[in-house]
Amino acid sequence: MSTTIAAIGTALSNSGISIIRISGKDSLNIINKIFKSNSKLEPNHIIYGKIIDKGEIIDNVLVSYFKAPHSYTGEDVCEINCHGGTQITKDILEIVLENGASIAEPGEFSKRAFLNGKMDLSQAEAVINLINAKTRTESRIAAKNMEGDLSKKIKALREELVELMAHIEVSVDYPEYDYDEVEPTSIISLLDRKISEIQHILDTYDHGKYIKNGVNVAILGKPNVGKSSLLNNLANYEKAIVTDIPGTTRDIVEETINLGNIVLNISDTAGIRDTDDIIEKIGVEKSLKILDEVDLVLYLINGEEGISKEDFEILSKIENKGIKYIPVINKMDLTKKTILSTILKELEQNGIKKPVCISAQENDGIDNLKNEITKLFNVSDLDYSHELIITNERHKDLLKKSIEYLIDAKNEINLGQPIDIVSIYVKKCTKTLGEIIGADVTQDIISKIFEKFCLGK
């Protein structure tokens, strides 16, 4: 990290202010070459002056200086706050590069912060989660993990397991010393407790993944049942083409919708029916295949026509796959009471859950449908202010693996294996937990994590 790096830290657009960030041992030297002010630049101060290039005034700016190690990266950092024009921002960055800085790679500022011990790996990942947050809940969870909530829990888990390993090694390697013998029953008790604690964190991922990635939703049903109208209604604009002609939607139409504390990634699919139209047939096949990729199905039934054998076949497929689903009776503005009564009776007789009745055309019942979706994923009830919640798939996989190692350790004890064999699996567990916070992680993993960051962060 001998090079001094620079990048634009704000969105490159016409705005009030842009920030050019510089980090490295030559940061202050570069600023002194290009910045002129009547005030002396001191650590943790921001002063007014001008950027000068070859004797020409480029812009009036504010410059701040953070002396190592008291900065975001742990290095000397200078930040130039200039006017937010696209061209002037690029011009000042170019001047900084011409005077000794190198352009930063994506995420390189945060990567240096990690390597310099200013944050651990889980905190660095929380930074990018905070930047990419689409809902308030997601941003609050990221902020808590950025402050180290997950780090503290992982460190506490590892510490007790490291103490167990030390106890085992002393009792095995130095039996002549008067040291309490490690009892298998007490080890199992400790391992059970750690498995339970890790599992408790792991269980939050089901909610966490929906908060971070959104809920993948498919709108399914026969042709001309109102799928595209429902998508347009949820999106509040005409995303999909709507006509009275069956088979209008021939491919999957996708839209992202913010539903309070959760994001819905909705796919409007081609109507499911037997057809000789080759293009429409491909669309129908895609509609059925999407069942392998979604978290929720909104299955629309035409309330004007009633429910058919095809409807029950598709609903049966959805149930057999174990996918969450909501039956939706549409066109309630055109539905006769006798037909509705028959639909409700047939659904009940076939063990299908209670439907939501709507009129997508008249925007009636949509709020009830949104409430049902929210209830299914229970995000609004999360106490994220007190509960540790993980949203990162990498963390989930590592927590799962660490539990497997502790279970292996228990199995070795139950098989009567020597106690030092047990410590091998406990050590694997602590190493795996360490990967979450970056205590035990390869350079490849570090590079993959930080390359997802934006420039200037």
Q: How many CB atoms lie within 10 A of CB 350?
A: 13
In whole numbers, what is the pLDDT of the chain averaged over residues? 85
Contacts of 197 (CB under 8 A, 6+ apart): 157
- Give the DSSP H or E segment for 53: strand 45-53
Residue 456 lies in a domain: no
Asked which of 85-94, 239-248, 435-444 is least confident by mean pLDDT, the reply is 239-248
Residue 118 lies in a domain: no
Same structural domain, 279 and 324 = yes
Same structural domain, 375 and 229 = yes
What pLDDT, on a 0 to 100 scale, did the predictor assign at position 117? 92
Asked which of 86-95, 170-179, 389-398 is least confident by mean pLDDT, the reply is 170-179
Answer whether 20's CB lies under 8 Å from 89's CB. Answer: yes
The enclosing domain of 333 has a CATH number of 3.40.50.300
CA distance 88 to 100: 19
Residue 112 lies in a domain: no
pLDDT band (50, 70, 90) for residue 437: very high
Same structural domain, 318 and 221 = yes
Same structural domain, 222 and 339 = yes
Question: Residue 407 belongs to what domain range?
Answer: 123-204+389-450
Same structural domain, 422 and 277 = no
Residue 254 lies in a domain: yes
> Which of the listed residues 350, 381, 412 is the one where a domain comes to its end?
381
Rg (CA), the chain: 29
The enclosing domain of 128 has a CATH number of 1.20.120.430
Secondary structure E strands in 292-371: 296-302, 324-330, 356-357
The model carries a pTM of 0.78
Helix (H, G, I), strand (E, B) or coil at 354: coil
Secondary structure E strands in 151-261: 215-221, 253-259
Q: How confident is the model over 220-277, as pLDDT tens digits?
A: 888 888 888 888 888 775 544 344 434 444 344 678 888 877 888 988 775 444 444 4
Q: How many structural domains compose the chain? A: 3
CA distance 32 to 282: 64
Same structural domain, 377 and 398 = no
Per-range mean pLDDT, top range of 289-298, 302-311, 327-336, 426-435: 426-435
Same structural domain, 396 and 377 = no
Q: How confident is the model over 182-208, as pLDDT tens digits?
A: 678 888 999 999 999 999 999 999 888
What pLDDT, on a 0 to 100 scale, did the predictor assign at position 439? 87
CA distance 355 to 344: 8
Per-range mean pLDDT, top range of 169-178, 309-318, 427-436: 427-436
